[in-house]
Amino acid sequence: MPKITYIDHGGTARTVEAELGSTVMETAIKHGIPGIEAECGGACACATCHVHVDAAWRETVGEPSPMEEDMLDFGYDVQPDSRLSCQIKVTAELDGLVVRTPERQA
């Protein structure tokens, strides 16, 4: 199973195994990763599962869809590396993915 590392705002890294086909948000919630709220439950209807994708992974993860960009307007400290983790599907290529959770969710 692919491994995903979540680094919180304080610098603490947590690496967990993710199921293929689930999302980076669902993986975080399942493992109790702090810093991801997912208020809307993964409907791309809020911006509380916002993460910054590590520079080395941005190309593999890809860009947000227009709908996701719209929701990112509501995010906190949105940067070019920002994504909503509910919109990142876990694939074999993402094994080793590193994301950072922001100081707070919106």
Partner 1 sequence: MSEPIKTDVLIIGAGPCGLFAVFELGLLDMKAHVIDILDKIGGQCAELYPEKPIYDIPGLPYVTGKGLCDALLAQIKPFGATFHLQEMVQTIEKIGDPLFRVKTDRGQMFEVKVVVIAAGGGSFQPKRPPIPGIEAYEGASVYYAVREMEALRDKRVVIAGGGDSALDWTLNLAPIASHLTLIHRRSEFRAAPDSVNKMMKLVGEGKIDMVLGQISALAGEGGRIAKAIVKRNDGSNFEIACDALLPFFGLTMKLGPVADWGMEMKDGEYIVVDTAAFESSVPGIFAIGDINWYPGKLKLILSGFHEGALMAQKAYHYVYPGKRLVFQYTTSSTSLQKKLGVA
Within 64-103, the residues that bind partner 1 by CB under 8 A are 66, 69-70, 72-74, 76-78
- Binding segment for partner 1 (CB under 8 A), chosen from 8-16, 20-28, 41-49, 52-60, is 41-49
Contact indicator for 27, 16 with CB cutoff of 8 Å? yes
Q: Which of 8, 45, 68, 100 binds partner 1 (CB under 8 A)?
A: 45
Confirm or reject binding of residue 63 to partner 1 (CB under 8 A): no
Q: Residue 82: beta bridge partners?
A: 52
Distances (CA, A) of 60 to 27, 40, 56, 64, 85: 18, 26, 8, 12, 14
Residues that bind partner 1 (CB under 8 A): 39-40, 43, 45-47, 66, 69-70, 72-74, 76-78, 104, 106
